[in-house]
């Protein structure tokens, strides 16, 4: 044979049951190709010809690296052949049987995975192979893995193609007849005449994997007739027993057995499921073994089962509207570090959602019933799913929710520092924490009882041989063997300086020292460990993991209670590394600390909210953050000198996002006494030509006592003339300031200037100026708030000089009930008046009428100091703001002036002067 058409014959490659393949040269393309034609002794069979043509066309229709490409299909004088690339290699069968030594399982497994992926592709195109076996797998010389012989392939949508039968005498070959396939690889349902499906291919893949694991077939079948009679009694010998010398991994043995299940419901439904399990093994992910079932109806399963009131933002306000009653259950059983939680849930029409708790600490280690992680699944009414840590949101998925009256399948996996959530078979989100996820209990949380839930299946995860290099020191850290953990982390960090594992090891080394410090009682040793932790985190400086240096140091300062330094670290990292790949880790920590501080530390909460506003505007998309911001604005003390205070309902609105941010950030920066932040905000206001915001910012600088910065800020402001009286107060005199404007020209801007001058006159004992200004504007139409403010300054000036009748005249213009309420500026002044007119006992009754609250309004501070000594309470003093302390000391100065205690009057006057920048 010299030529086939225009192709030049070189040699024969092989011969099969239907066709033969030659290596030929294509002179037109100047390349060697493989040419396949019907065997010469079968070319007269019409069925064979149809089958051959079918193979060529179905192969040509599939495009995948694991399927050979068809160059061309020819038919000349009834002679059909087609050409394809020539791939030099061996069949998988040759590798399994003839190779010595036999290839190992780790060598063969990637080849098998490629075959599975190729089959999955064919199935996605609606094609089943129907003759999967090692003979039809070509392993190329350069690593190619190609699935051959598509002669029996069939479109699932067209089961009417010609059928061919298995040879009774040779179970390894396929010959004409009715039922197609190779007997050793045939699924039981095919032997009974059921049409081929995806699951019949899966069965054949299972036989192939069994051969890879053991080098043997799982069953010895002599004939189709015998197979039909005895398939139910066939015994599958465990691969580990058949080939103990092959070290068959149990996970792969389980995969084989699932592929070969007779019951189709127990067999893999798709090749993708098989591929997933193979990847889990090959990537070294956890294998799961069911540990226990937890039933919400069985009280014996739960150590804690109570209704709990959850309060949020308690550091910002004592109001109870941020509190929720929830039903909470925490498991009695503690589980290993890696676990999988599986259940089915159905929410009723009135249900609000349901939460699942993970990593809940032991009872003696909990500071709150909700310590640990909580996955909250919302409903269509509140379509918002989020992951919380210690009740603080760390990540969210707004588009994920539970549909009422529908059963949902939920899976939550916690592997080391990873949490993965799957709902109804779809991976919803994953979360990685750079901090250790400790705690071994799980739980359930609900806001109502309108839900149904099956028993929760808890599976424990075991690692296979491909474990992370961090697993060993992680285990030491979990068992509190700090020295060995630190040594291992350092070794890994130095060994892999350019890898993620290396930087993570250095970071965890610092965490190890920090955890050890928590367990030490000796103060000096604890201090040394904290210093060592700072040094350990410092090793990340100028490395690809540099943001983690600041995250780690912030954790040290948090542990030390130095929240100012903690927040500086976080802000510095944000400013330096805002485009760094690890920046999301910092964002999560800032968001977490912002919400956590809202429960415990008002000052830190304000600082972190301001950082979020300035540097992380994306957090406005978070419902929890918006809820916190709105709650803060609704309950904080409004500063009387700010125009157009922020409206909480406008938060998160894109059309006015920047303006809202400025109007929100201004009072925050003022309360925190942060003048340079106010200047930064001023630049933004100037870029938007927002005159109101600019005026608010300049006035805030004056109120803080930053007169030089205020003067600088005025230079580029078109309405700077309104602030000239304020500047003249400090650069010249109050008299000059009063000459520079007409006090009868009153708008809010002018009145806040008047208010400033009145306060300045009182502070500098120029009390006659108070009455002079007041007399000029008393008859003008003032708002109720401005009128009360003006009268408070007048009363203040009268009380300083014990002008009782004049003060009494003003008080008589207000209802007594109003004067006794702590909601007015006149309340502390009326108490001083009562001391002068009725005596100490009556005054004390007046002052003691205030409601006990952790953070009183500024005009009620005098009462709380006299009754509760709040200045001696660290909970108030350490988180109080300069503006609040200034008002407290100013009120105390007046009080001791009224009761003739010059020593304390002088003392508090001195303290007040220190509360200016």
Catalytic site positions: 131
Query: What is the Cα Rg of the chain in Å?
Result: 40
Q: Are 434 and 416 in contact (CB under 8 A)?
A: no
Distance CA(603)–CA(594), nearest Å, equals 10
Backbone angles phi, psi at 220, to 5 degrees: -105, 110
Contact 185, 172 (CB under 8 A): no
Q: How far apart are CA 115 and CA 132, in angstroms?
A: 9
For 477, half-sphere exposure in the C-beta direction (CA atoms, 13 angstrom radius) is 27
With CA atoms as reference, report the closest residue to 695 among 669, 721, 730.
Answer: 721
Rounded CA-CA distance 877/677 in Å is: 23
Strands (E), 108-215: 127-128, 137-140, 145-147, 154-155
Any residues with CB less than 8 A from the CB of 23 and at least 6 apart, and which?
10, 11, 12, 13, 32, 33, 34, 35, 86
Site of tokens 């929760």: 456
Q: How many Å apart are CA 136 and CA 115, to the nearest integer?
A: 10
Q: Running DSSP on this structure, what letter comes out for residue 402? A: B
Q: Which residues contact 657 (CB under 8 A, 6 or more apart)?
A: 617, 620
Contacts of 888 (CB under 8 A, 6+ apart): 858, 861, 862, 865, 870, 871
Q: Is-contact 440 454, C-beta < 8 A?
A: no
Tell me phi and psi for residue 891, to 5 degrees.
-65, -40
Looking at residue 84, the DSSP 8-state letter turns out to be E
Tokens of 307: 């209704």
Q: How many helices (H) and strands (E) does the chain have?
A: 35, 25
Give the DSSP letter of residue 347: E
The residues near 163 (Cβ < 8 Å, ≥ 6 apart) are: 177, 178, 179, 180
Q: How far apart are CA 682 and CA 628, in angstroms?
A: 25
Separation between Cα atoms, residue 179 and residue 199, nearest integer Å: 16
Phi then psi for residue 26, to 5 deg, are: -95, 105
Q: Before 758, cis peptide (omega within 30)?
A: no
- The DSSP-derived string for 554-599 is HHHHHHHT-HHHHHHHHHHHHHH-TTSTTHHHHHHHHHHHHHHHHH
Contact 663, 685 (CB under 8 A): no
Q: Tell me the pairing of strands 79-85 and 127-128.
A: unpaired
- Helix, strand, or coil (residue 423): strand
Q: What is the DSSP string of 247-258?
A: ---HHHHHHHHH
Q: Say how far apart CA 466 and CA 285 lie, in whole Å.
A: 8
Tokens of 69: 């490409």
């Amino acid at each position: 044979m010299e030529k086939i058409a225009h192709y030049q014959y070189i040699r024969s490659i092989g011969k099969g049951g239907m066709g033969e393949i030659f290596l030929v040269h294509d002179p037109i393309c100047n390349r060697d190709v493989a040419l396949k034609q019907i065997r010469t002794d079968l070319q007269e069979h019409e069925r064979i010809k149809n089958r051959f043509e079918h193979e060529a066309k179905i192969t040509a229709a599939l495009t995948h690296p694991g399927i050979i490409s068809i160059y061309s299909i020819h038919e000349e004088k009834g002679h059909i052949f087609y050409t394809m690339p020539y791939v030099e290699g061996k069949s998988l069968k040759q590798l399994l049987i003839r190779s010595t030594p036999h290839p190992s399982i780790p060598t063969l497994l990637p080849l098998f995975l490629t075959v599975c992926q190729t089959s999955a592709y064919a199935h996605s195109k609606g094609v089943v192979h129907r003759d999967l076996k090692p003979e039809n797998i070509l392993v190329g010389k350069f690593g190619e893995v190609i699935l051959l012989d598509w002669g029996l392939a069939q479109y699932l949508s067209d089961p009417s193609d010609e059928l061919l039968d298995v040879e009774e005498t040779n179970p390894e070959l396929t010959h004409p007849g009715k039922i197609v396939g190779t007997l050793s690889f045939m699924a039981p349902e095919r032997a009974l005449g059921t049409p081929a499906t995806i699951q019949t291919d899966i069965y054949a893949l299972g036989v192939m994997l069994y051969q890879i694991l053991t080098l043997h077939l799982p069953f010895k079948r002599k004939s189709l007739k015998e197979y039909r009679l005895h398939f139910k009694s066939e015994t599958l010998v465990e691969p580990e027993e058949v080939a103990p010398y092959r070290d068959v991994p149990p996970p792969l043995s389980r995969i084989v057995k699932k592929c070969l299940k007779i019951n189709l419901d127990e067999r893999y439904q798709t090749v993708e499921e098989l591929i997933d399990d193979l990847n889990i093994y090959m990537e070294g992910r956890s294998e799961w073994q069911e540990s226990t079932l937890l039933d919400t109806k069985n009280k014996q399963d739960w150590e804690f089962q109570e209704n709990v009131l959850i309060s949020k933002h308690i550091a910002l306000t004592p109001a109870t509207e941020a509190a929720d009653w929830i039903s909470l259950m925490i498991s009695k059983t503690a589980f290993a570090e890696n676990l999988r939680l599986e259940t089915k849930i159905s929410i009723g029409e009135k249900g609000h959602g349901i939460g699942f708790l993970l990593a809940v600490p032991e009872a003696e280690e909990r500071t709150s019933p909700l310590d640990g992680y909580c996955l909250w699944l919302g409903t269509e009414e509140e379509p918002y799913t989020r992951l919380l840590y210690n009740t603080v949101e760390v990540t969210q998925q707004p588009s994920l929710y539970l549909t009422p009256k529908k059963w949902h399948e939920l899976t939550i996996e916690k592997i080391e520092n990873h949490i993965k959530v799957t709902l109804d078979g779809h991976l919803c989100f994953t979360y990685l924490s750079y901090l250790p996820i400790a705690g071994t209990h799980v739980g359930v949380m609900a806001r109502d009882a309108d839900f149904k839930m099956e028993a929760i299946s808890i599976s424990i995860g075991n690692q296979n041989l491909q474990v992370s290099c961090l697993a060993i020191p992680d285990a030491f850290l979990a068992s509190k063997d700090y020295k060995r953990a630190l040594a291992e982390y350092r070794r890994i960090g130095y060994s892999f300086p350019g890898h993620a594992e290396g930087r993570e090891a250095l970071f965890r080394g610092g965490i190890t020292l920090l955890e050890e410090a928590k367990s030490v009682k000796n103060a000096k040793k604890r201090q040394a460990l904290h210093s060592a932790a700072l040094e350990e985190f410092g090793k990340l400086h100028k490395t690809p993991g540099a943001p983690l240096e600041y995250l780690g140091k912030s954790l040290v300062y948090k542990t030390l209670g130095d929240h100012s330094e903690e927040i500086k670290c976080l802000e510095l990292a944000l400013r330096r590394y805002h485009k760094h790949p690890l920046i999301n880790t910092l964002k999560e920590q800032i968001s977490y600390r912002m919400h956590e501080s809202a429960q415990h530390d008002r000052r830190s909460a304000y600082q972190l909210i301001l950082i979020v506003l300035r540097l992380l505007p994306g957090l406005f998309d978070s419902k929890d953050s918006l809820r916190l911001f709105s709650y803060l604005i609704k309950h904080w003390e409004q500063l009387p000198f700010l125009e157009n205070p922020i409206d909480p309902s406008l938060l998160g609105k894109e059309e006015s996002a920047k303006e809202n941010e400025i109007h929100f950030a201004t009072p925050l920066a003022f309360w925190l006494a942060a003048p340079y932040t106010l200047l930064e905000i001023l630049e933004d206001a100037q870029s938007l030509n927002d005159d109101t915001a600019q005026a608010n910012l300049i006035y805030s600088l004056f109120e803080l006592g930053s007169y030089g910065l205020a003067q600088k800020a005025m230079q580029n402001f078109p309405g700077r003339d309104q602030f000239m009286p304020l500047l003249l107060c400090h650069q010249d005199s109050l008299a000059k300031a009063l000459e520079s404007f007409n006090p009868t020209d009153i708008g809010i801007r002018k009145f806040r200037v008047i208010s400033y001058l009145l306060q300045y006159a009182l502070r500098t004992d120029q009390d006659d100026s108070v009455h002079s200004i007041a007399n000029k504007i008393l008859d003008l139409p003032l708002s109720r708030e401005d009128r009360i403010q003006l009268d408070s300054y007048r009363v203040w000036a009268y009380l300083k000089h014990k002008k009782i009748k004049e003060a009494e005249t003003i008080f008589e213009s207000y209802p007594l009930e109003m004067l006794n309420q702590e909601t007015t500026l006149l309340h502390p002044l009326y108490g001083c008046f009562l001391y002068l007119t009725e005596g100490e006992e009556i005054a004390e009754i007046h002052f003691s009428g205030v409601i006990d609250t952790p953070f009183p309004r500024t005009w009620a501070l005098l009462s709380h100091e006299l009754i509760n000594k709040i200045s001696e309470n660290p909970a108030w003093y350490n988180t109080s703001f300069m503006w609040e302390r200034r008002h407290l000391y100013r009120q105390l100065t007046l009080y001791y002036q009224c009761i003739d205690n010059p020593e304390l009057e002088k003392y508090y006057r001195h303290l007040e002067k220190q509360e200016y920048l």
